[in-house]
Structure formats: structure tokens, C-alpha cells
Amino acid sequence: MSDSDQTAPPPPAVRLSRAARLRLVAALLALAAGTAAVVIAVVLVRATLS
Amino acid sequence: MSRRIGYVLALAWVAAWLTPAAPASAHAYLVKTVPAASQELNASPPTIQLTYDEAVEPRFALISVTSAAGRQETTGPVQRSQADPDTLTVPLRPHLPEGWYLIYWRAISVDGHPVQGAFTYAVGPNPGPAPQFRVPDISATAATPQLLVARWVMFVAVMAAIGLFVLRFLIIRPVIRGVPGTSVRAVSAALVIASIVGLIAIPVYVDLSTANDSLRSVFDLGALVPLFGVTAYGRALLDLEACFALFVLAACISLWVDRPGRDRRSAAELAANLGTLLAAAAVLIVPGTAGHAAQTSPRGLTLAFDGLHLAAGSVWLGGLLGLLVLWFSLRSGGRVAALAVCVPRFSAVAFGAVLVLAGSGLGEALDHLPALDALWRTGYGEAILVKTGLFAGALVIASGNLLRSRPGLVAARVRPERGEPAARLLRRLISGETALVAGVVFAAAVLSSLAPPPPAFALQDLALARVGPGTVTRTVNRAGYQLELLVSPNRAAAPDSFALRITKGGQPVRGADVTLTFAMTTMEMPGQEYQLKEIRPGLYSRAAPALVMVGLWGLTFQITPQGGPPFSALILDQANG
């Protein structure tokens, strides 16, 4: 069995701390808020133009 | 190259999506009335029906029907017609006696502007001569001092919050970590304060505006709250509150996840910033849908101008406020070093914002003004001039910053003695500039509360003569003919007599076809057209209560002489009450 046939060991799993996970969830919430605002504005603009 | 083509296609798609096919009118106006203006009926109608070009809200509408003695003849509230949503009806007392009646109406356009009008009709068969009616004097304006101040506070708070966010996260954050001991906490606090003020100011303005439109007390919340969302104007403002609340939520998250000490932003910071900027873009586009931009054709273009205008103004105003806050929050030791990195970056952004402001403002003015002289002959134009003057003043101060303070701060890196004087000059100039920009926003609040002049305003530059008020006898020459105009008594809401004596070479011109069209030049109203009868050789006449409002009317005579080419003559007539 050559070296190339050997399966490379998996990289160590990156574990986010609880604080980092919380910040990521909050950031996604901010992104969702921005998207919701854009949807409201687009619906309003389309209703205005129609 | 292919990327450039992609951009062009994307822009073309956005333009096509935003550009409507149909033209828009500025304000609600009457398209049909039952009974018709100046109509003589054989019996009293059971109701009055007014049909508008849009679905106006009956709870904001007023229709009064008064007899010659001033008695109110309506018996119930204004209601929307079951058959046609654009039609409002009001019931009348049954079997009204013979005589003339005045109908006065007031409604709220979709852009929140009150519009009003009046006309007369008669119940016959022998109504007698029409009396001189007194048109009710009911305040119909969206520009009361109370509303203007509330509108200004709302604009300033919302724009400042967005501008402070841009300054805090996009302009000074990437560089401030390079200056030891510098904190942007005060700017963050200013952002939170502006956000809270904006969140309160929007519903307060909606309450004040709804109270003004529905002629109720601002404290009658039980009656007002259900009315907040019944007009397109109110709904747009409620949407503004929703979008702004989402912006504030996203901005607070951005503040929470931000770690300004790090060189690169984390994924969480980038996502939060992107969400806040998306919400800010939504906030900036919504006000246009509640104002003139949505009512002026081409609406897509005017909405785009409005959004750009607000965005540029927000960056400028919020940036100035943020720099002032930063100035006062920094210790004198590190102030110059921090300003030396922040001010040049803000100057570059503000310069671009000013260019966008000027360009989009010019585009909006060209779109809304039917003639150049509307700038100094209408309240709307005067508000534009005041706004432009304040803007120019702010530009002069800004140029002082660009040419004196900024170079001084930059030079302080190698010549520290230049730093403090430049920082002091910066504070003075920014204070003045901020005050003037806030004044510009107040002028914008006034501007957006006034109705733009109607397209018929442009007629004022084409008139052969200007006559009135009072009885008119005036001769003008046109196409080789002498035209003598006779109007009596030339009063609003009165059965005026309009006569035109046509002569050529001293001889009466017989058998001509003469049509008279009325257009109100200071307010959007439907035109009226009457055929004049030849009552004596060369004298064409018609009696009609066509001057339904006090104001400057454009009287256009379309004349087709027998065997001669047709021509027209426009005369401006001032009708008073």
C-alpha cells in the first residue's frame, strides 16, 4: 500500500464558542431584518407604480 | 467587457421595472359630478355624487351643500359609493326647494395633500338668478407649523441615524483602530439616540398628520389610530416605521457584534452590516412612495431621484453630526491624530454625496416645475430657492473645511503645531455646516408639504393679457383680429357672463365657431369647456359659474372664423370671492 492510498486524517473540527455562535445567530437576524425591510419597500414601490 | 455589459443589462432591467407605462397626476381631482357644475335640474336629487380620479378616503372627505341662505342641506356623512370606489356620495334633504345651491368639497390625495373645490347647481324649473355664494373658509393645508416641525424632526432623526451608521461602520471604523486610545463609543451612542428619536417621531407625525386631515384632535387616538392606514400616504408612513424599526434592530446587532480592534471584520460583522445597509436602503426609498415622487411621471425615475437624494443627504447630515460628536468625545491629546485619519475619509465621501444631492435635487426640481418662473412665483418654487440657498451656504462652509481644516489636520502628522488650530477651525465650520444642512432638511420638509404647481401654470407665460379681479373689458389683437373680452361680475362661484366681440378691420366677424376653455393655473383641477353663442353680430357669449375657485384662471378661446384658419387666444383672469 503506497502513501497516496492512505486516507488523509480529517482536519480538526472548528468548534465555535458559545459567544461566537450567539454573535453569528444575531448577525443572521440582522440580515433577515434587512431582507424583510427590502421586501416591504419593494412591495410598496410595486404597489405605487402599478 | 462582459461584466460591463452585465451592468448595463442590470441597469436597463431596473429602469424598465421602475418606469411605469401610464402617466401620473399630482393630486386627486374631480372627474365627474352629479349634478354637473352649473346644471339646472327640474327636481332636487336625493344625493350628491363626486367621482375622483383616485379612490379618496370618505373619512377624510368633506362635502357641504348650502342653500343661498347658507343652510346646510346634507343629512348624513360622506360615504363611498357601492358601485364605484372612486365615487363619494352624501345624502340630501328630500325635496329641496327651487333655487341655487353651492357644493363645497375637500378631500385628501394619496400623497397626503388636501385638495378642495366648489361649484353650484340649481333646482328648477324656476331657480331665479344665481346668488353670490360665500365659499366656506376651511383650512386645507399640510404645511401647518406643528406638522412642519414634526416632519422635520422625523426626517432629521431618520437621516441622522442612517448617516451615523455609515460614518461609524464604513468611514471611521476601519481607520480608528490605528489611533491608540481612540473610542467610537460616543458615535455609537449618537446612533442609538437618533434611532430612538426616529422611532418615536414617525408615529407622532402620522398622528398629527391624520388629525389634521380628518379635522380631529391629535389626542383623539381612539378615532385616529384606525385611520392611520386607510390612505396610501398613511400606509407608506407605517411602512417607513416598520422598515426603520428593522434598521434599528439590525444596527443594534451590528453594534453588538462589532469588534473595532480587529484588523478584519468577521463573518458575523459583515452579515450584520449588510443587513443594516439593506434596511437603510429600504428606509430611504419608502418616503418617496408617500410624497410627490410617487405622483409625478415618470414615477420610477422620480422615486429613484428621491431615494438617491435622501441617501446622499443622510450621509452628509449624519456624517457631520458624527464628526461633531467624535470631536467632543475625544481627549485633546489624541483628538488631532484621530481627526487626521477620519476627516479626509469623510471629506471624500461627503464630496460625492454633495454631487449626488445636487444632481438628484436638480432632477427632481425639473420634474416638478412646469415653468422656470414657477421658482419665484409659487410657494413651492420659493421653498426650492430657500433650500438651494441654504445648500449653497453649507457648500461654502464645506469648501472651507476641504481647503483649510483638512490640509491642516493632514499636515499635523509632520508638523504637530498645525493640528490644534485646524481642529478648532474644523469644529466651528462643522457646527455651522450642520446647522445649515439641518436648515436644508427643514426646507425639504416644507417643500414636501406643499403641492407642486400644476402643468397649467405654464399657461401663465403664454397669455396675451392678464385681467381681473372685477369686471373685465379688454381688447387684444390676435391673427389680424381684434378680440374684446367682457367678463362680469368676474367672481368665483358666481354665474359669470363671458363674452367675446370679434372684429376685423372694424367689421364684426359673424358665424365663427368659438369655444372657451377654463384651466385653473394654481391648482390641479379638471378643465371646463363651453361653446359660446353669437347673440349679436360678432358678439359671442355664455353665462356659466365656471370660475369655481378664487385664483388665476387661464381662459383659452378657440376661434374658427368662417372660411378662415382657426386660432386661439389665451387670457389670464384673476377671480376673487
Task: Give chain A positions within 8 Å (CB) of B271.
Answer: 24, 27-28, 30-31
Q: What pLDDT band is residue B459 in, cutting at 50, 70 and 90?
A: confident
**What pLDDT does residue B19 have?**
35
A22 interfaces chain B, CB cutoff of 8 Å:
no
Residue contact B256–A41, C-beta within 8 A: no
A28 interfaces chain B, CB cutoff of 8 Å:
yes
**What pLDDT does residue B136 have?**
60
Distances (CA, A) of B400 to B90, B184, B351, B375, B403: 62, 25, 13, 29, 5
How many A-B residue pairs are in contact by the CB < 8 A criterion? 108
Nearest by CB to A45, from B246, B274, B285: name it. B285
Q: Is the dihedral of CA B95, B60, B87, B542 positive or negative?
A: positive
- The share of chain A scoring above pLDDT 90, in percent, equals 50
**What pLDDT does residue B427 have?**
93
Measured in whole angstroms, how far is the alpha carbon of residue B212 from the centre of its chain? 17
Nearest by CB to B253, from A27, A41, A49: name it. A27
Nearest by CB to B272, from A30, A37, A44: name it. A30
A17 interfaces chain B, CB cutoff of 8 Å:
no
Q: Considering chain A, what is the average pLDDT of its residues? A: 84
Tens of pLDDT, residues B136-190: 655 456 678 899 999 999 999 999 999 999 999 999 887 777 777 788 899 999 9
Q: What distance in Å separates the CA atoms of residue B500 and residue B560, rounded to the nearest whole number?
A: 13
* Average pLDDT rounded to a whole number, residues A20-47: 94
Extract long-range pairs of B177-180: CB within 8 Å, 24+ residues apart: B177/B260, B177/B261, B177/B262, B177/B263, B178/B341, B179/B334, B179/B337, B179/B338, B179/B341, B180/B334
Nearest by CB to B268, from A23, A32, A49: name it. A23
Tens of pLDDT, residues B42-63: 889 999 999 887 778 888 888 9
At residue B110, does pLDDT exceed 90? no
Distance, in angstroms, between A39 CA and closest chain B CA? 8
The model carries a pTM of: 0.77
When scoring A14, A31, A39, A50 by the number of chain B Cβ atoms within 10 A, the one with the most, hence best to mutate, is A31
Task: Give chain B positions within 8 Å (CB) of A22.
Answer: none
Task: Give chain B positions within 8 Å (CB) of A36.
Answer: 246
Cell numbers representing residue B104 in the block: 363645497
Distances (CA, A) of B275 to B32, B252, B288: 48, 11, 21
Q: What pLDDT band is residue A47 in, cutting at 50, 70 and 90?
A: confident
At residue B15, does pLDDT exceed 70? no
**What pLDDT does residue B217 have?**
87
Nearest by CB to B271, from A30, A41, A50: name it. A30
At residue B518, does pLDDT exceed 50? yes
In the stretch 218-247 of chain B, residues with CB closer than 8 A to chain A read 232, 235-236, 239, 242-243, 246-247
Are B329 and B190 within 8 A, CB to CB? no
**What pLDDT does residue B20 have?**
34
When scoring A23, A29, A35, A43 by the number of chain B Cβ atoms within 10 A, the one with the most, hence best to mutate, is A23
Maximum mean pLDDT: which of B29-38, B122-131, B287-296, B563-572? B563-572
**What pLDDT does residue B9 have?**
45
Are B7 and B27 within 8 A, CB to CB? no
Please report how the helices B332-368 and B379-400 are oriented relative to each other, as an axis angle in degrees rounded to 10: 150
**What pLDDT does residue B462 have?**
83
Task: Give chain A positions within 8 Å (CB) of B247.
Answer: 33-34, 37
**What pLDDT does residue B158 have?**
97
Cell numbers representing residue B315 in the block: 450621509
**What pLDDT does residue B16 have?**
37
**What pLDDT does residue B38 have?**
72
A16 interfaces chain B, CB cutoff of 8 Å:
no
In the stretch 19-48 of chain B, residues with CB closer than 8 A to chain A read 20
A37 interfaces chain B, CB cutoff of 8 Å:
yes
Distance, in angstroms, between A2 CA and closest chain B CA? 40
User: DSSP of B317-349, one letter per residue?
Assistant: HHHHHHHHHHHHHS-HHHHHHHHHHHHHHHHHH
Instruction: Check residues B260 and B322 and name the one with the higher pLDDT.
Output: B322
- The three-state (H, E, C) secondary structure of B34-91, written as one string: ECCCCCEECCCCCEEEEEECCCCCHHHCEEEEEECCCCECECCCCEECCCCCCEEEEE
Distance, in angstroms, between A27 CA and closest chain B CA? 4
Residue contact A35–B278, C-beta within 8 A: yes
At residue B6, does pLDDT exceed 60? no
Tens of pLDDT, residues B496-514: 889 999 999 889 999 999 9
Report the greatest alpha carbon distance in chain B: 96
**What pLDDT does residue B321 have?**
96
* Closest residue of chain B to A32, computed from CA coordinates: B275
Nearest by CB to A45, from B232, B256, B303: name it. B303
**What pLDDT does residue B11 have?**
42
Closest to B380 measured CA to CA, from B236, B240, B524: B524
- List the single range of A40-49, B87-96, B193-202, B222-231 with lowest mean pLDDT: B222-231
- List the single range of B272-281, B346-355, B405-414 with lowest mean pLDDT: B405-414
Residue contact A34–B18, C-beta within 8 A: no
Tens of pLDDT, residues B67-107: 888 888 999 889 999 888 889 999 999 989 998 898 888 88
Nearest by CB to B253, from A26, A37, A45: name it. A26
**What pLDDT does residue B142 have?**
63
* Average pLDDT rounded to a whole number, residues B321-344: 88
- List the single range of B336-350, B437-451, B483-497, B556-570 with lowest mean pLDDT: B483-497
At residue B128, does pLDDT exceed 90? no
SS3 A13: coil
Q: What pLDDT band is residue B377 in, cutting at 50, 70 and 90?
A: confident
At residue B395, does pLDDT exceed 60? yes
Nearest by CB to B276, from A26, A34, A49: name it. A34
Query: What radius of gyration do chain A's Cα atoms show?
Result: 23
Are B385 and B369 within 8 A, CB to CB? no
- The share of chain B scoring above pLDDT 70, in percent, equals 91
Q: Considering chain B, what is the average pLDDT of its residues? A: 86
Q: What distance in Å separates the CA atoms of residue A25 and residue B92, rounded to the nearest whole number?
A: 63
